[in-house]
Amino acid sequence: MSRRIPYLYGLFFIGVTAIWMYVQFPARAVEAYAVQKVAGLVPELTLTVAEVALSFPAAVRFDGVSVQYQGAPALNLDRLRLRPGWKTLLPGKAAFGFQAELGEGRASGRAELSTRPEFSTDSLSIDLDSVQVADLPILVRRAGRELAGLCSGELHYTSEDPPAAMKGRLVLENGRVEVRLPMIKRQSLSFAKIDSEIDIKGRSLNLRRLVWQGPELDGEFSGTVEIKSPLEMSQIELLGNMLLHPAFLTELHQTIPQRLMPKPGPGGRYGVQFSGTVANPRYRLR
């Protein structure tokens, strides 16, 4: 008998087993477990899934994922893949990689969890690629203003050194943000790119650097945001400088007399200070 025969039998057995697992995969049971688990961990969240299937290699695929928070839309995913890690075999531990599709955008990463004595997140890493922030209802609603733009970047969270900390870099491109300042007649400001570096410890967000490039202005800012609930009540303290482009500067002069405008510094840039809250920010040119 050829030496290849046993290997062929082995491959045949593996193939049949894989097909059997795919056909017999308990999709509805997994869906029910996921919905029940989310409800148990966060009662304010409601999860619905259109379809569950086994995805090779060794992953579970959820299609049409919808998450609601306190009865309002929070997040919609076209597809989510979860791939268990080896730490899931350890008592009181769970780990998995994930890939999510949100329209034309993508998110991927890895999470490590503790399930004893209570559920908690040990670490989390997320990579974002061209995620449209306007398609994140919970973010827009919590910010209390219209937001749009393609978000890319990375976030890393760890609970090892209390307080828990998150670091990351986020880049927004080709978007706009609603403004509610009486001296600005337009309803929103556009940007070509916003590049930011952040640290979060506890409820304090340290904006190490934010660079804004847009048709109305270019600017660079840093400072802190004290995160509160609801999010729109978070306190802002930012300092920076900005270069107002000629057309936008002319527009500002229609509501702010030129004699009241401070003289620009080197390079035509104005010093600026932002304070107040996310919902009602205040600014002062320096």
pTM of structure: 0.82
| Phi, then psi, of 67 in degrees rounded to 5 | -120, 130
Q: Are 280 and 239 in contact (CB under 8 A)?
A: no
Task: Output the pLDDT for position 195.
Answer: 97
Task: Output the pLDDT for position 40.
Answer: 61
Task: Output the pLDDT for position 172.
Answer: 96
Give the mean pLDDT per block of 10 residues along the chain (286 residues).
48 42 45 56 78 77 87 90 79 85 93 80 93 89 86 92 84 92 82 96 92 96 91 91 93 83 89 89 84
Task: Output the pLDDT for position 39.
Answer: 56
Could you tell me the sign of the dihedral formed by the alpha carbons of 241, 244, 249, 251, in that order? negative
| Per-domain residue ranges of the chain | 1-84, 91-285
Q: Is 136 left (phi over 0), alpha (psi -120 to 50) or beta?
A: beta
| CA pair distance 221, 104, nearest whole angstrom | 30
How many other CB atoms are there within 10 angstroms of residue 161's CB atom?
Answer: 8
Q: Are 181 and 283 in contact (CB under 8 A)?
A: yes
| CA pair distance 133, 225, nearest whole angstrom | 20
